[in-house]
Chains A and B, each alone.
Chain A
Amino acid sequence: MPEDSDWEAYKVPPTRTPVSERTTWVPNPVTFFQTVFNYVVDAPVTFVREWIERQQSKNKFYYYHQKFRRVPDLSECLEGDYLCFFEAEAQWRRDRMVDQEIVEIVRERLGACKQREGPNQFQNCAKEVELLAQVTKAYQDRYGDLGVHGNARTCLMKQKHRMMEERKAQANASQ
C-alpha cells in the first residue's frame, strides 16, 4: 500500500519535559545506559547503513507513479461501441481503486490522531472524525452496494437512481 506523503498531518507536538536541576551527587544511570547503547548498537548500525547508502548512491535510478490519460466516460459512449465500453470500464476501476486508497489514508490519519492525543482524542480529533464520516458516506453513496460484480455500468445505473430520488425529493419538498 502506498504511504501517506503528507507528513504534516502526523506531526507530534514538541514534548514539554521540564529541565530539572540536580539535587544529589549520584549520577543519572540513564546516561550510562544511553552511552552503552550508543557505542554497542547505534554506532555500528549507523556505520553499516551509511556504508550501504554510499554504495547505493553510486548509481541512482528512479521510479514514477503512472499517470493515465482520461478517456471518455461510460455516459459518453455510443451504444454498441465496445471499445469505448472497455476503456471506460478500465478507467472506472482505476478511479475506484484511487477512492479506496483515499478512504484508507483518511482512516489512518484518524488513527494517528487518536494515538497522538491519547485521552484528549474526543475533543481534538473532531475534524478528522468529520472528514472520515464525509469521505465514507461519499464512498458508500457512489460505490456502496454494487457488490462483487459491480462495474461501471451498474455504478452509472446507481447514479441515475440517485438523481431520480433527488429529483423526487426536490419535487416533494417544493410542493
Chain B
Amino acid sequence: MATREEKIKIASKFLKAAPPGEINDVFNDVRTLVGDDELLDGGILTALEEYNIEELATVEVPGIEGKVIVSKHGLIERNRFLNPKTNQTFMLDHLRQTASDLESHTVDEEVEELRKAIENDTEAYVADRYAEGVSAVYGSKGVVTIAIVHNKYSPSNYWNGRWRSVWTLDVATNEVKGAMKCKVHYYEDGNVQLETAKELENKLTKDASEPHKVIAKALLDFIGAAESKYQQALNESYHDLAESTFNGLRRALPYTRTKLDWNKILTYRIGAELAAK
C-alpha cells in the first residue's frame, strides 16, 4: 500500500505532465485513482502551482483587459503575480484558476521605458504570428523578459496544442537568451504526443546606447527570425522522420511488392504436422 508521500509524488507527476488544456481531466482522473480528497487538495497544490507557472497559464483578471500570463518572471510572492502592462499584481487561486485582489506595484524605473518599447513591438509581433497568442513583457534589475503563449484547444476533435516562448535581454551585456517549447496532443482512438524544446543564446548588434525604439526593433527582428528558423527546422524534421525513420521501421509492402501468401508460408514451414490429427 503506497504511503501518503508516495501517493502525492505519483499524483504530482501525472499532473505536471498533463497535456495542454487537459489539466482538469487529469486532476479528476488522479482523484479517482488516489482517492482521499483531503489528501489530494492539500498535497498536490504545489504540483498545480508549478504546472501553472511552467506552462504560462493564462487567466482573466477582473479589472484588467484581456488575458494575463502567470509565470515565474512575474512571481512577486507565493500566489501573487505581476501584470507588467498595467503595473498591477493579483492573487491567483491555482486550483480554480481565478484571480482577485488587485494591487499596484512599484515599477523598476531604470528599465521601464525600454520595457514599454519592447512590449509595444512584442504585441505587434504576437498579433502577426500567434492568432490567439498572449504575451507579457517584464522589466527588472537590468533584464527584460518576454513571455509568449499560444493555446489551441479542440477537444471535440480530440486534439490540443500549446506554444511557449520565453526570451530575455540583458541590457548591460546585450545577451539574448531564448527557449521555445511546443506540445501537441492527439487522442482519437489513441494517444499521440509531440514535445519539442529548443534553447539558444546570442548577442544583439544594437547596444544599450541606442534609443529604446531601436533596441526593441532589433530584439523583435532577432526573435522573429530565430523563431521562424526554428519552425522551419521542425517542419524539416517532420519530413525526415516520415520519409526516413518511419519507413525504416515497417515497410508498406514486402520487397516482393505483394502481400504475404499465407498458405505458402504454412505448407513450407509446418508440413504435415498440424494436418495430421
A and B are interacting partners:
no
